[in-house]
Amino acid sequence: MEDHNRLEELLARSGQGPLSGTIIADFGRVLAGPYCTMLLADMGATVIKVESPIGDETRAWMPPEHEGKSTYYLSINRNKLSIELDFSDPGDLATARELAARADVVIENFKPGGLEKFGLDYQSVAAQNPDVIFTSITGFGTAGGASLPGYDLLVQAASGLMSLTGAPETEPFRAGVAVVDVFTGMHACIGILAALNHRRVTGEGQRVEVNLMSSALSGLVNQTGAYAIAGVVPTRMGNEHPSIYPYEPIATGDGEIVLAIGNDRQFRVLCRELGTPELVEDPRFAFAPDRSRNRLDLRPLLEAALSHATATEWFERLTAAGIPCAPIQDVAAGVQFAERIGLDPIVQAGSGDDSLSGIRNPITFSQTPATYDKAPPELGADTELVRRWLAGSSPLASISAKEATA
């Protein structure tokens, strides 16, 4: 506990998030690991990002950029410290091992077995730090797929996700964001929180393993479920839903609006608002399974009714009637819409000249709110600070004061 208190003094995380005082040694890079640790850092954890002398690869992923820095890197690395370590240097490697020995949580996404030669694998770290939560992220697990490279695009292809993305007449597409990496980062976060709770109850540390392939199959939910349960192999349906209708974009007088009609009551209200009550009485459309089977007959009737007003007008009218619908917007309009409805999506990480805009952590706590006190770090910005903490050479409160006034 002394290490935790002294580190918190030194590194001066503001706020009282639910993970305040938790030390995380972050050996991850690119997206899944850094996204996971950013979520944990937002909740108050002290995350020490370990980087090689060339830094996280995403520092060089441009465009887009902001003041010469990759927005990719900036978007997933706030609230962290950066320590630069070269594992080929004995002193730096000793520092990495000491950091792992002090941490509550270690997270890494090296290829399976890649940390053994450095003495930073689970067995080596747990021998010195038996209650550690050691989290490994791989592409395809540690068995038959251990040698396969773990890239989001590859897993979107191998898992079947790409086979479901696009229209029936098009080739398979990847999703517009690296969703498998994001799934996996969230699964890693859940695993870490569960393991921390287990340790709180029992005192036991453990290893947590996630991989992109398993996260993709889990994230495909009803689609992989249909295969596992009934042997059904789903196919691309564009924007349609396999089981309910209407649940897709439909043309209006000046563009498209997305309808998400999930039950018979919503369909009745939709027909009332469209001025087509006769559709409710039509046996082809009366109940959800009928609408799904007869969607090719129903779609042109809905398009004809919707053509009498604009997408914006229908959105306002149908929303007022309680119908789930939405306009199709670009990212800027999406953020602006969130602002209009009071979600405050933009936060400032850090303060003063170092402050940087970002997207708010999606979790709201009534008693222990998220904290955004640190902008994404420059490579190695906190190397000396962390080394001095590990060495225990100076009273940390006085070091913190000196750093603050330097």
> Are the beta carbons of 260 and 324 closer than 8 angstroms?
yes
Catalytic (active site) residue 181: yes
User: Which of the residues 26, 181, 373, 382 is marked catalytic?
Assistant: 181
State how far the Cα of 286 lies from the Cα of 249, in Å rounded to an integer.
Answer: 21
**What's the pLDDT score for residue 397?**
31
State how far the Cα of 157 lies from the Cα of 164, in Å rounded to an integer.
Answer: 10
Termini Cα distance of the chain:
28
State how far the Cα of 116 lies from the Cα of 144, in Å rounded to an integer.
Answer: 19
**What's the pLDDT score for residue 393?**
43
CA angle 289–295–300, rounded 5-degree value: 145
Burial class (CB in 10 A: 0-12, 13-18, 19+), 146: middle
State how far the Cα of 372 lies from the Cα of 88, in Å rounded to an integer.
Answer: 34
**Fold classified for 247-340:** formyl-coa transferase, domain 3 (3.30.1540)
The 10s digit of each residue's pLDDT in 328-352 is: 999 999 999 999 999 999 999 998 8
CATH number of 2-220+345-405: 3.40.50.10540
**What's the pLDDT score for residue 97?**
97
State how far the Cα of 85 lies from the Cα of 52, in Å rounded to an integer.
Answer: 5
**What's the pLDDT score for residue 207?**
98
State how far the Cα of 169 lies from the Cα of 88, in Å rounded to an integer.
Answer: 52
Q: Is 44 left (phi over 0), alpha (psi -120 to 50) or beta?
A: left
State how far the Cα of 296 lies from the Cα of 244, in Å rounded to an integer.
Answer: 13
The 10s digit of each residue's pLDDT in 98-142 is: 999 999 999 999 999 999 999 999 999 999 999 999 999 999 999
The answer for residues whose C-beta is within 8 angstroms of residue 43's C-beta and 6 or more apart is 17, 18, 19, 361, 363, 365, 368, 370, 371
Strands (E), 314-359: 325-327, 346-349, 356-359
| Helical axes 90-102 vs 383-391, angle rounded to 10° | 70
State how far the Cα of 307 lies from the Cα of 313, in Å rounded to an integer.
Answer: 11
State how far the Cα of 315 lies from the Cα of 212, in Å rounded to an integer.
Answer: 37
The answer for residues whose C-beta is within 8 angstroms of residue 121's C-beta and 6 or more apart is 113, 115
CA nearest neighbour of 13 among 35, 58, 47, 44:
44
How is the chain split among helix, strand and coil, in percent rounded to 5? 45, 15, 40
Diameter of the chain measured on Cα atoms: 81
Per-residue pLDDT of the chain (406 residues; tens, 9 = 90+): 445 555 556 665 777 899 998 999 999 999 999 999 999 999 999 999 999 999 999 999 999 999 999 999 999 999 999 999 999 999 999 999 999 999 999 999 999 999 999 999 999 999 999 999 999 999 999 999 999 999 999 999 999 999 999 999 999 999 999 999 999 999 999 999 999 999 999 999 999 999 999 999 999 999 999 999 999 999 999 999 989 999 999 999 999 999 999 999 999 999 999 999 999 999 999 999 999 999 999 999 999 999 999 999 999 999 999 999 999 999 999 999 999 999 999 999 998 888 999 999 999 999 999 999 999 999 999 999 999 889 874 333 333 333 433 3
Q: Would you kindly state where each structural domain of the chain is located, as residue ranges? A: 2-220+345-405, 247-340
Residues above pLDDT 70, as percent of the chain: 94
